[in-house]
Amino acid sequence: METVSRREVLIGSAAVLVAAGRVRPAYAQAAPPSAGTADTALVEDLVAANRILVDQGVVDAYGHVSVRHDKAADRYLMSRSIAPELVTAADIMEYDLDSVPVDPRGRALYLERFIHGEIYRVRPDVRAVVHNHSPSVIPFGATGVPLRPLYHMSAFLWPGVPVFEIRSAGGAATDMLVRTLALGQALAKTLGAGPVALMRGHGAVVVGGSLPEAVFRSVYTEVNARLQAQAMALGGSVTYLDTEEAKKAQASVAGTIGRPWELWKRKALATLPGK
């Protein structure tokens, strides 16, 4: 009979516990090094973005927004797990692309932070990511009716809006949350090179080349979904922007994003304590 050492027993037991999800392996607990202190203005914009998305009806107590770190492409900034309207600069945390926090200090983390890390990993053009449960987009993720640009402010939707089906990536037993690296990777794959992807029965993910752009797209994706549903309910034929119209409208509107951002940011930061 083969003799099994105590060390082998301990190693085997640890492996079983890790597989069962009761113990995290040591490498998953190690905090990555910091990329350095993020630019103060960038942090302020991230705080503002959280509050703007609430004010514009895109998020409520749920949802989150992140921005790529200004000093390292393999780091991003996002708040601890808290309602977006309550976010302050003190809540902003740094994460690596595996979505491991640099300085957790026991703070609660968003379960779906993997959405952000995996998109930043494969989309070097993306500087900001929004995940929301924007109410008007939910039906388009659940019915098979495609979300299409209805007017010039949402012209950025012209490439098409794919729908992420979590059952295809995680099987039928998920809780609908993108709570693992693998699910984050699958969502990033569905998003592809586009600006928006819907998440069936859940919400949407929206990206941009800057925080103002990602916020703008999030707001007008919600508005477009609402208007499209209204137009379809009238019962007539709906005329959408064609590709060339949409491309030209997108280029025109892109130069004006600073206008709503300045307004939204001023209103959002006015609600901060001490302002």
Q: Considering only CA atoms, which of 238, 235, 234, 244 is closest in space to residue 146?
A: 238
Non-local CB neighbours of 154 within 8 Å, separated by 6+ positions: 220, 221, 223, 224
pTM of the model: 0.88
What is residue 275's predicted lDDT score, i.e. its pLDDT?
63
The predicted-structure confidence for 177-195, as pLDDT tens digits, reads as follows 999 999 999 999 999 999 9
Q: Which of 2, 85, 112, 244 is catalytic?
A: 112
Query: CA–CA distance from 252 to each of 53, 104, 219, 240 (Å)?
Result: 23, 42, 18, 18
**Cα-flanking dihedrals φ and ψ of residue 199, to 5°?**
-125, 110
- Contact by Cβ (8 Å): 66, 128: yes
Instruction: Report, as ranges of residue numbers, the positions in the chain whose pLDDT lies below 50.
Output: 1-27
The predicted-structure confidence for 17-65, as pLDDT tens digits, reads as follows 333 333 333 335 588 999 999 999 999 999 999 999 999 999 999 999 9
39 CB neighbour count, 10 Å cutoff: 13
What is residue 16's predicted lDDT score, i.e. its pLDDT?
34
Angle at 67 between CA 269 and CA 53, to 5 degrees: 45
112 is catalytic: yes
Query: CA–CA distance from 151 to each of 148, 194, 245, 246 (Å)?
Result: 9, 18, 10, 8
- Dump strand ranges (E) for 148-253: 163-164, 196-199, 203-208
Look up residue 93 and give its two tokens: 């945390």
Q: Considering only CA atoms, which of 126, 111, 247, 124 is closest in space to residue 183?
A: 111
